[in-house]
């Protein structure tokens, strides 16, 4: 069987999601640690984002598609319920995280703490306060 490769920077929360999916399923993989917009990524993702995945002739972009593939292509416990309602609730929460929680909480609020881009290097209180409501 061909090697599964998860391609992207290990610090990315979405790369981490794909790696966790592999761990939960017991799927061996190799991490190819590259940043967005590198040739390895651009060859697979139309917008150069990470993660991307390669498994033999199969290439995929976007963490949700990668996790779906891992869940359905390999033996092991299912990552998402197979029942329509339970599976739909899982998809609902994944969508909420991807469209609302990550852009607001991680990209704005937490980034203002860890990467404040202020002259004194302190958390960017204005960005944090604007994100809180």
Helix (H, G, I), strand (E, B) or coil at 71: helix
Number of C-beta neighbours around residue 76 at 10 A: 12
What's the pLDDT score for residue 116? 78
Statement: residue 71 has pLDDT above 90: yes
Model confidence at 131: pLDDT above 80 = no
**Gap between the Cα atoms of 9 and 88, Å rounded:** 29
Number of compact structural domains in the chain: 2
Interval 59-67 mean pLDDT: 97
Higher pLDDT, 124 or 82: 82
Q: For residues 17 and 67, is the Cβ–Cβ distance under 8 A?
A: yes
| 88 and 121 inside one domain | yes
Residues 21 and 57 in one domain: yes
Which CATH number goes with the domain that contains 43?
A: 3.40.30.10
Say if residue 89 is in the same domain as residue 69.
no
Residue 33 pLDDT exceeds 90: yes
**Interval 90-107 mean pLDDT:** 83
Which domain covers residue 13, as residue numbers? 4-73
Q: How confident is the model at residue 124 (pLDDT cuts 50, 70, 90)?
A: confident
Of 117 and 33, the structure prediction assigns the larger pLDDT to: 33
For residues 91-114, average pLDDT? 81
Q: Considering the domain boundaries, does residue 56 fall inside one?
A: yes
Judge if pTM exceeds 0.85.
no
Instruction: Kindly report the average pLDDT of the chain as a whole number.
Output: 91
Let me know if residue 95 belongs to a domain: yes
Q: Pick the more confident residue, 117 or 53.
A: 53
For 77, the token pair is: 């416990």
> In this model, does residue 83 exceed pLDDT 90?
yes
């Amino acid at each position: 069987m061909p090697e599964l490769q998860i391609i992207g920077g290990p610090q990315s929360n979405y790369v981490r999601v794909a790696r966790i999916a592999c761990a939960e399923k017991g799927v061996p993989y190799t991490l190819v640690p590259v940043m967005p917009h590198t040739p390895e990524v651009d060859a697979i993702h139309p917008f150069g984002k990470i993660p991307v995945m390669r498994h033999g002739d199969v290439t995929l972009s976007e963490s949700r598609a990668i996790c779906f593939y891992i869940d359905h292509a390999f033996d092991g416990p299912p990552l998402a319920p197979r029942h329509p309602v339970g599976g739909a609730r899982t998809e609902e929460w994944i969508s909420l995280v991807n469209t609302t929680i990550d852009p607001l909480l991680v990209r704005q609020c937490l980034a203002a703490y860890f990467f404040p881009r202020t002259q004194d290097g302190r958390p960017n209180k204005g960005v944090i306060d604007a994100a809180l409501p």
